[in-house]
Amino acid sequence: MMADKTFILRIKRQAAPQERVVWEEFEIRYRPHLNIITCLRDIAEKPITRAGDGTTPISYDANCLEEICGACAMLINGYPRQACSALVDNLEKPIRLEPLTKFPLIRDLQVDRSIMFENLKRMKCWVPIDGTYAIGPGPRMSPEQQQIGYPMARCITCGNCLEICPKVNDHTQFVGAAIINQVRLFNMHPTGNMHARERLEAMMGPGGIQDCDNAMNCVKVCPKSIPLTESNNEINRQVLKHAVWDWLNFSEGPTERDEEWKRLGIQK
Amino acid sequence: MKEPKIIVVGGGLAGLMATIRVAESGVPVQLFSIVPVKRSHSVCAQGGINAAKNLKGEGDSTWIHFDDTIYGGDFIANQPIVKSMCEAAPAIIDLLDRMGVMFNRTPEGLLDFRRFGGTLYHRTAFAGATTGQQLLYALDEQVRRFESEDKVQKFEGWTFLSAVLDENRICRGICAMDLKTMEVRTFPADAVIFCTGGIGAIFRQTTNSVVCTGTAQSALFQQGAYYANGEFIQVHPTAIPGEDKCRLMSESLRGEGGRVWVPRNAGDTRPARSIPEKERFYFLEEWYPKYGNLVPRDVATRAIYKVVFEEKLSLAGMNAVYLDLTHLPREMLDRKLEGVLEIYQKFVGPDPREEPMKVFPAMHYTMGGLWIDNERQATNIPGIFTAGECEYQYHGANRLGANSLVSCIYGGMVAGPAAVKYARNLEKGCDATPESVFYAEASRQREANDSLLNQQGFENPITIWKELGAWMTEHVTVVRVNANLQKTLAKLDELDDRFSRVNLADRTQWSNQTLQFTRELGNMLILARVITLGALARNETRGAHFKPEFPERDDKNWLKTTKASYNGGKIKLEYEPVDISLLPPRSRKY
Amino acid sequence: MPGTASKPDSSYFWDKLHSLSGIIPIGAFLAEHFWSNSYVLVSPERYNSTAAGLEQIPWRIPVEFLFIWLPIVFHGCYGLDIWWRGKANVLGHPWMSNWMYVLQRWTGIVLFAYIIWHVWIERFATHGRSTFAGVAHDFANPYYTAFYVIGVLAASFHLGNGLFNFCCKWGIAVTPRAQRAAGFFGAFVGVIFSVAGLLIVAGFVYNWHPFSGYL
């Protein structure tokens, strides 16, 4: 029988956060169109290192396997990306797998990215609706507006943009491009905009927009090609406008609508 | 009375909608999900969501939507509840629109609609080609809002193990496992809503996500819940074959004008685009002139099987057909379908705008699921409600494209308030349940874990799973032959036996994914048997259930719902009549 | 670690002030500084008279303090803090914008040292009186010259790229097209300053005065 073509996978492993780091090498049988997830499943079926030692299957997060759930982000040859869409054919061998470094490690290639969901909560990233009752259609929106909003709404919260950002680290509390992009999305929605002030205030807090220093790496690793730098700069603009307004008024900056109400003699 | 306690298991569309409805009524919710809810399988839904809003002047109505759904499902769905769903659909779209879903728009700023399979109307609202993702995110955001108000408490990274049933077999809570610490714990609840999605993993290479194992449904089935119509499994006609999964190529590609064809000459090795028009066989358009490429999925899938396996007109070197978009304007493709085209490009390579895609059918959806009553989404176990793909109610023998999202959301909208009402009317809540009931269930589950962890043997769970998937895909999907189904049952016996000798390569107590998967596999094996037994018994052809030995629909003997029950390791099938009070069955010819 | 911001704090204000101070007054001063020094390219006499003119402005010390020293000290010290809070990864990911980010930090550090040295030898060691002969004497030392060249290039880069950053951070350049335009603008400013600065250095080193005659 002809020997199968194989390649080497080097995986950074850690049985638990407090355990020591071990690198393990695995020899994987090559097949066309193979992705990293399939390699990890091969290992789960036969958890033996290249040296012939028995080991445990690799822990990793994965779900949809078509790059839309965001679960399987990891460092593949040092580059943050989704393991499902990382095809072995296109990768330099030996392939190196590491967990994302900007999030608390759980085990092996698994990390805890709940901080991103927590930040979405604090930034009030939702449209404030009155209820789920049948109370008519939503606001109208031009096709142009939809074409701007939809790409932003495709963020899968994978964390790649945080991983690659030099300003996301232990010395800062930077929330990262993914969250800033969501703030922009909800500020542009006709109803979501009613909470824009609170989001902008939050964006001026610790870890807010000011921590972005324009390395512009985020936009390069986004698997969904979201215009993240555009979102950052747009939020910079919105926050600045909000901040200057506040400052000029030495107080809670009234919105234009509040001003109009005042002129009309309506008490809030 | 005291505030009731409600648990929702599963954070996909149905689970999130149920959560929102319960939280909105002022009752706090505990929401359990294996993955962070934003990563649920609902994100994979691509094409859109159906609602007869009739915004294109075609005279569409909720009644026609209802008729299409019942007809598409080959008359085996109970009709009143399907009618209610179709009537609720337009308001559901409005609600999602208000939540900020970035639906595609017309120049007037209204929602755009496209065509989908099994209907002649533009009835499908869509957000690019990632509609499920957009809907899930909208609901996720609303749940997050309730979470920030402390009305929802999330348990992400927990897996459901079993329901806690008291001595009267009433559900008093759940037993779940933290997938990080492997802690097994019970959570008391007056009512539990299960929205645990599909069962694709039983067939392994499917369009489903990793978590779609049906483990929760199977666990409940083993605890006494009926499982209905398990034999109706939808195989989607167009997906990219793959070793780890088959990637869905949405029906919307055909809805927007994509055409399916094969070369007329077997073994034609020319590049697709150089094959002249007259040497292309547009078999769906030829065989089904009225619906063309938009026949329902079961019909399209069988047509592809016929072309590939009977007429031997496959593409050179692989079992596949062309799905051709190259005649469509690029700008439209980018605006309406980019999400799907991107998947094809990333996983296969060529640009589908330039080159026809190579696709083949793949297992996609289960019409069957936990049995529920007709109006409350309640299972036969008191206190257990269910919504979404994990229940059986809306799609009969074949689901129409873009009906799943609406059934998920509608089911969640019904199940939430129904659970609250049930819980409020309980004489004795879970607080009155003796501590020992919870303790016993937790111990039972811990013992199950321990026995797996300590089991000795040489069987690997992944190997068993691969064989299970291969057998189920070969014999229990598109073409069902009784002899093969018998063989599959024998194979399942063998796999059960080998499962009892599974050796866990990981015996640790920290994020042990092997233990989690092995528990799921055990449950998959049981559901696989339910599906196979149901298919074996049903000697007719109806919707997605196709038996060449019995090629006709047999309303006299089989216009009835399969109800499987489990008792002491034995699966029993019984049948109940279908409610056809609104629409008399007629023969199904597209 | 990513944080969980919710309320504004002073960091936004200081950050914006840092960004602004780099342009006004520091950038403006740099432009003025290069302009004044360019008189060396006319003749040593014009240089000396320009220097004398600047040395004899009213309120010299308060003006210098308020518009030069204080902004530079603030910009430099806050800049050090920003440098400390960044974790560069340009070696693994050598994209141009990533290089720009890293270079902005490192030119900042270089300039921090350079400006201290430069101010010391040209402002305090000379008791605030600059003459062509004095500066030319400094340039006789090749190490001094080398440091000057580095300083001039670092300052030009830092200003040019800083202008681009300013356009982004103040929401002036939002769309990719506007970002590109801002990038070209920054590059243009950086190149002009580099060329001008190097010519000024050449003027001192080689006693070179190309603008001495009427053209």
Q: Which residues of A touch B510 (CB under 8 A)?
A: 15-16, 107
Chain A neighbours among B 82-141 (CB < 8 Å)? 91, 94-95, 97-100, 102-110, 127-128, 130, 133-134, 137-138, 141
Q: Is C58 on the interface with A (CB under 8 A)?
A: no
A135: distance to nearest CA of chain C, Å?
A: 32
Q: Is C133 on the interface with A (CB under 8 A)?
A: no
Q: Is B442 found in the same domain as B348?
A: no
- Supply the pLDDT for residue A268: 40
What does the pLDDT average to over B214-218? 98
- Supply the pLDDT for residue C9: 80
Inter-chain residue contact C101 with A214, CB threshold 8 Å: yes
The residue among B248, B253, B243, B244 whose CA lies nearest residue B352 is B253
Inter-chain residue contact A115 with C4, CB threshold 8 Å: yes
The residue among B15, B42, B41, B37 whose CA lies nearest residue B157 is B37
Q: Is A259 found in the same domain as A146?
A: yes
Tokens standing for residue B431: 């607080």
- Supply the pLDDT for residue A267: 47
- What is the DSSP track for C39-51? GGGT-HHHHHHHH
Inter-chain residue contact A166 with C87, CB threshold 8 Å: yes
- Residues in contact with A9: Cβ distance below 8 Å, sequence separation at least 6, in sequence order: A25, A26, A27, A28, A39, A43, A94, A95, A97
Considering CB atoms only, which of A15, A85, A192 is closest to B100? A192
Q: Mark whether B145 is an active-site residue.
A: no
The model's confidence at residue B374, banded by pLDDT at 50, 70 and 90, is: confident
The residue among B148, B97, B99 whose CA lies nearest residue A130 is B99
The model's confidence at residue B413, banded by pLDDT at 50, 70 and 90, is: very high
Q: Which of C13, C82, C85, C158 to mutate to test the interface with A (most CBs of A within 10 A)?
A: C85
In-domain check, residue B4? no
Q: Given the structure tokens 């031009």, which residue do they identify?
A: A142
Minimal-distance CA residue of chain C relative to A244:
C13
Please say which residue of B307, B335, B362 terminates a domain.
Answer: B362
In-domain check, residue A257? yes
Inter-chain residue contact B513 with A57, CB threshold 8 Å: yes
CATH of the domain at B500: 1.20.58.100
Give me the catalytic one of B172, B259, B297, B542.
B297
**Gap between the Cα atoms of B360 and B249, Å rounded:** 10
Domain C17-205: top CATH class: mainly alpha
In-domain check, residue B375? no
- Residues in contact with C35: Cβ distance below 8 Å, sequence separation at least 6, in sequence order: none
Per-residue pLDDT tens digits for B505-520: 999 999 999 999 999 9
Share of chain B above pLDDT 70, in %: 100
In-domain check, residue B36? no
Q: Which of C4, C20, C81 to mutate to test the interface with A (most CBs of A within 10 A)?
A: C4
**Gap between the Cα atoms of B559 and B550, Å rounded:** 14
In-domain check, residue A85? yes
Per-residue pLDDT tens digits for B536-566: 999 999 999 999 999 999 999 999 999 999 9
The residue among B490, B497, B500, B478 whose CA lies nearest residue B545 is B478
Helix ranges restricted to H, C66-141? 70-85, 96-119, 132-139
Minimal-distance CA residue of chain B relative to A39:
B244
Q: Is B148 on the interface with A (CB under 8 A)?
A: yes
* Number of domains within chain B: 2
Exposed, middle or buried: residue B13 (CB in 10 Å: 0-12, 13-18, 19+)? buried
C-alpha angle C13-C15-C16 in degrees, rounded to nearest 5: 65
In-domain check, residue A65? yes
Minimal-distance CA residue of chain A relative to B247:
A66
- Residues in contact with B140: Cβ distance below 8 Å, sequence separation at least 6, in sequence order: B11, B16, B37, B38
Tokens standing for residue C23: 């342009």
Inter-chain residue contact C2 with A115, CB threshold 8 Å: yes
CATH of the domain at B282: 3.90.700.10
Start-to-end CA span in chain B (Å): 55
In-domain check, residue B401? no
Q: Which residues of A touch C164 (CB under 8 A)?
A: 214
Considering CB atoms only, which of B133, B243, B347 is closest to A85? B347
Which amino acid is present at A259? E
Question: How many CA atoms, within 13 angstroms, populate the side-chain half-sphere of residue B14?
Answer: 28
In-domain check, residue A268? no
**Gap between the Cα atoms of B163 and B188, Å rounded:** 10
**Lowest mean pLDDT: which of B555-564, C9-18, C71-80?**
C9-18
What does the pLDDT average to over C114-141? 92
What does the pLDDT average to over B214-226? 98
Q: Is A240 found in the same domain as A203?
A: yes
**Gap between the Cα atoms of B251 and B237, Å rounded:** 8
Per-residue pLDDT tens digits for B252-307: 999 999 999 999 998 899 999 999 999 999 999 999 999 999 999 999 999 999 99
Q: Is A251 found in the same domain as A121?
A: yes
Strand order in the sheet with B122-125: B49-50, B122-125, B113-115
Q: Which domain holds residue B290?
A: 241-362
Per-residue pLDDT tens digits for C133-152: 999 999 999 999 999 999 99
Share of chain B above pLDDT 90, in %: 97
Q: Is A123 found in the same domain as A209?
A: yes
Tokens standing for residue B492: 């399942």
Inter-chain residue contact A56 with B505, CB threshold 8 Å: yes
Q: Is C84 on the interface with A (CB under 8 A)?
A: yes
- Supply the pLDDT for residue C1: 44
Q: Given the structure tokens 């796999």, which residue do they identify?
A: B495
Q: Is B565 on the interface with A (CB under 8 A)?
A: no
Using alpha carbons only, how large is chain C's radius of gyration in Å?
19
Q: Given the structure tokens 């499987």, which residue do they identify?
A: B564
**Gap between the Cα atoms of B42 and B389, Å rounded:** 10
Considering CB atoms only, which of A119, A213, A216 is closest to C86? A213
Q: How many CB atoms lie within 10 A of CB A198?
A: 14
Q: Is B440 found in the same domain as B555?
A: yes
In-domain check, residue B133? no
Tokens standing for residue B235: 């195989």
Q: Is A189 found in the same domain as A143?
A: yes
**Could you report the predicted ipTM of this complex, rounded to two decimals?**
0.95
Q: Which residues of B touch A140 (CB under 8 A)?
A: 108-110
Q: Which residues of A touch B466 (CB under 8 A)?
A: 45
Q: Which residues of A touch B138 (CB under 8 A)?
A: 127
- Return the H-helix or E-strand segment holding A162: helix A160-164
Q: Is B553 found in the same domain as B441?
A: yes
Q: Is B452 found in the same domain as B352?
A: no
Helix ranges restricted to H, B429-570? 435-454, 461-475, 482-499, 513-537, 555-558
Instruction: Using a threshold of 3 CB pairs under 8 A, tell whether chains B and C touch.
Output: no
**Gap between the Cα atoms of B535 and A172, Å rounded:** 59
In-domain check, residue B510? yes
Q: Is B513 on the interface with A (CB under 8 A)?
A: yes
- Return the H-helix or E-strand segment holding B221: helix B215-222
What does the pLDDT average to over B242-250? 95
Q: What is the phi/psi pair of residue B567, to 5°?
A: -145, 115
Exposed, middle or buried: residue A140 (CB in 10 Å: 0-12, 13-18, 19+)? middle
- Supply the pLDDT for residue C215: 58
Chain A neighbours among C 21-50 (CB < 8 Å)? none
Size of interface A-C (CB pairs under 8 A): 159
Q: Please tell me chain B's helix, strand, coil percentages from 3-state DSSP, rounded to the nearest 5.
A: 40, 20, 40
> Could you list the pLDDT tens digit for every one of the 268 residues in chain A?
456 799 999 999 999 999 999 999 999 999 999 999 999 999 999 999 999 999 999 999 999 999 999 999 999 999 999 999 999 999 999 999 999 999 999 999 999 999 999 999 989 999 999 999 999 999 999 999 999 999 999 999 999 999 999 999 999 999 999 999 999 999 999 999 988 988 999 999 889 999 999 999 999 999 999 999 999 999 999 999 988 877 666 555 445 555 555 655 554 4
Q: Return the sign of the alpha-carbon dihedral for residues C101, C107, C110, C116.
A: negative
Inter-chain residue contact A65 with B209, CB threshold 8 Å: yes
CATH of the domain at A233: 1.10.1060.10
Instruction: Using a threshold of 3 CB pairs under 8 A, tell whether chains A and B touch.
Output: yes
The model's confidence at residue C4, banded by pLDDT at 50, 70 and 90, is: very low
Tokens standing for residue B221: 């089935």
CATH of the domain at A98: 3.10.20.30
The residue among B241, B530, B495 whose CA lies nearest residue B363 is B241
Q: Is A121 found in the same domain as A35?
A: no
The model's confidence at residue B375, banded by pLDDT at 50, 70 and 90, is: confident
- Residues in contact with A42: Cβ distance below 8 Å, sequence separation at least 6, in sequence order: A26, A28, A29
- Supply the pLDDT for residue B2: 75
Q: Is A250 found in the same domain as A175?
A: yes
Q: Is A239 found in the same domain as A119?
A: yes
Q: Which domain holds residue A178?
A: 114-131+139-263
Q: Average pLDDT over chain B, rounded to whole?
A: 97
Q: Which residues of A touch B511 (CB under 8 A)?
A: 16, 59, 106-107, 110
* Number of domains within chain A: 2
In-domain check, residue B32? no
Q: Is A153 found in the same domain as A78?
A: no
Does residue B199 register a pLDDT over 60?
Answer: yes
Q: Is A75 found in the same domain as A127?
A: no
**Gap between the Cα atoms of B138 and B173, Å rounded:** 28
Q: What is the phi/psi pair of residue B407, to 5°?
A: -70, -35
